[in-house]
């Protein structure tokens, strides 16, 4: 694929910044879409624009060969209209601008959540979409379906389904686990035995660039994970060791965890115990983290993808960056 300009949305987030770096390493001039100016806009041309304001995107794709759409609203609690405005309507607005400017390839970051939380089968790209009844999953699938519809206009579309994402700039997944460990509030669900498929952001960026620049990958779907082979309990243990916390000893059954999450959601609705009204735990979080889903990764590997950062180094880099993440449209945490 020709080395034109690459536009990366969500460039200040965990994934977007890694994608921008990976593209630069491969010789691409990078333009990063951000809502507000960032002091960390190094190595790419900053383009201001808001996915909820189509007029602000005008010109964002001028001279662009490749778009990597990593920006998303990841809220799992009372998202209202905004999550749909960002994940569905914002995707459509960006696609319109890409089409107007003659962009060749559009990479959309979806999520493995669109395949549902049924752990009985190993999930691959051909698995049926059993979208759970949560706004994040539903809005991401809506954005994906809109992206596929633009193929008939000549735009080459590729969709990537990341698993659980972590890395430098992660503002949600690992920070919330670390906070729970330090506060002694984290518990194991079903003894922590469920497998969890992780994706380190810099490895994911390599996969995204492969999927977005390999000619034969146009029109393709790719689940991305790093095959670290961890259970949820082992992840807790690794994090506890690194931050000097005591690993959780308590375990609750999945059914009990869902009941506690439901009560937490009710407390959130009532504004009890949380300044923002957001619950400490949600049923969505319980199912997606501890559901035990397994994924086949053959398709992304067929493009030559091999994670280059191992788990120990990935955790070291992630924990070293805690507390330094900028604010903005969220493009991290949940794939």
Between residues 301 and 333, which one has the greater pLDDT? 301
In this predicted model, which residue has the larger pLDDT, 283 or 20?
20
Share of the chain above pLDDT 90, in %: 78
φ, ψ at 165 (rounded to 5°) = -100, 140
Query: What is the predicted pLDDT for the residue at 185?
Result: 87
Average pLDDT score over residue span 219-229: 97
- Share the mean pLDDT of the chain: 91
Query: pLDDT confidence of 114, banded at 50, 70, 90?
Result: very high
When pLDDT is averaged across residues 289-300 and rounded to a whole number, the result is: 95
The answer, yes or no, to whether residue 40 has pLDDT greater than 90, is no
* Confidence band, pLDDT 50/70/90 cuts, at residue 331: very low
Q: 335 vs 202, which has greater pLDDT? A: 202
The burial of 45, by beta-carbon neighbours within 10 Å (0-12 exposed, 13-18 middle, 19 or more buried), is given as exposed
pLDDT at 271: 64
pLDDT at 13: 92
Selection from 125, 102, 87 nearest residue 9 by Cα: 87
CA 136 to the chain's CA centroid:
11
Q: What is residue 79's predicted lDDT score, i.e. its pLDDT? A: 64
* pTM tops 0.85, yes or no: yes
Q: Is the pLDDT of residue 301 over 70?
A: yes
- Predicted confidence at residue 1, as pLDDT, reads 53
Tokens of 312: 């120990």
Sequence spans of domains, the chain? 5-169+195-232+293-320
Task: Report DSSP letters for 124-150, one per residue.
Answer: -TTS-----S-HHHHHHHHHHHHHHHG
Q: Regarding the domain with residue range 5-169+195-232+293-320, which homologous superfamily does it belong to in the CATH classification? A: NAD(P)-binding Rossmann-like Domain (3.40.50.720)
pLDDT at 157 over 70: yes
DSSP string, 36-53: S--TT--SSEEEE--TT-
| pLDDT band, very low/low/confident/very high, at 4 (cuts 50, 70, 90) | confident
pLDDT reported for residue 259: 94
List pLDDT tens digits, range 165-198: 999 999 889 998 999 999 998 999 999 999 999 9
279 vs 304 pLDDT, higher one: 304
Q: Which of 21-25, 215-219, 287-291 has the lowest mean pLDDT?
A: 287-291
Q: Which pLDDT belongs to residue 328?
A: 38
């Amino acid at each position: 694929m020709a080395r034109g300009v690459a536009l990366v949305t969500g460039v200040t987030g965990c994934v977007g910044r890694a994608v921008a770096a990976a593209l630069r390493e491969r010789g691409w001039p990078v333009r990063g879409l951000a809502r507000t100016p960032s002091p960390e806009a190094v190595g790419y041309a900053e383009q201001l624009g808001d996915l909820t304001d189509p007029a602000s995107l005008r010109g964002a794709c001028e001279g662009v060969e490749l778009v990597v759409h990593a920006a998303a609203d990841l809220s799992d609690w009372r998202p209202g209209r905004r999550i749909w405005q960002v994940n569905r309507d914002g995707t459509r607005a960006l696609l319109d601008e890409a089409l107007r400017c003659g962009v060749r390839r559009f990479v959309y970051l979806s999520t493995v959540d669109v395949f549902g939380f049924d752990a009985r089968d190993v999930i691959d790209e051909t698995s049926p979409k059993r979208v759970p009844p949560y706004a994040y999953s539903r809005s991401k699938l809506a954005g994906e379906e809109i992206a596929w519809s633009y193929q008939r206009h000549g735009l080459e579309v590729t969709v990537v389904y990341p698993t659980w994402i972590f890395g430098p700039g992660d503002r949600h997944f690992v920070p919330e686990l670390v906070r729970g460990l330090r506060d002694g509030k984290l518990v194991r669900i079903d003894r922590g035995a469920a497998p969890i498929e992780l994706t380190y952001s810099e490895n994911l960026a390599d996969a995204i660039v492969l999927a977005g620049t390999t000619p034969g990958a146009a029109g393709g779907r790719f689940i991305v994970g790093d095959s670290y082979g961890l259970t949820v309990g082992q992840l807790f243990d690794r994090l506890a060791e690194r931050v000097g916390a005591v690993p959780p000893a308590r375990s609750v059954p999945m059914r009990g965890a869902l009941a506690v999450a439901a009560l937490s959601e009710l407390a959130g609705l009532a504004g009890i115990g949380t300044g923002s009204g957001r619950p400490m735990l949600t049923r969505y979080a319980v199912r997606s983290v501890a559901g035990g889903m397994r994924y086949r990764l053959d398709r992304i590997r067929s493009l030559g993808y091999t994670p280059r950062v191992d788990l120990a180094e990935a955790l070291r880099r992630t924990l070293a960056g805690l507390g330094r993440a900028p604010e903005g449209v969220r493009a991290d945490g949940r794939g």
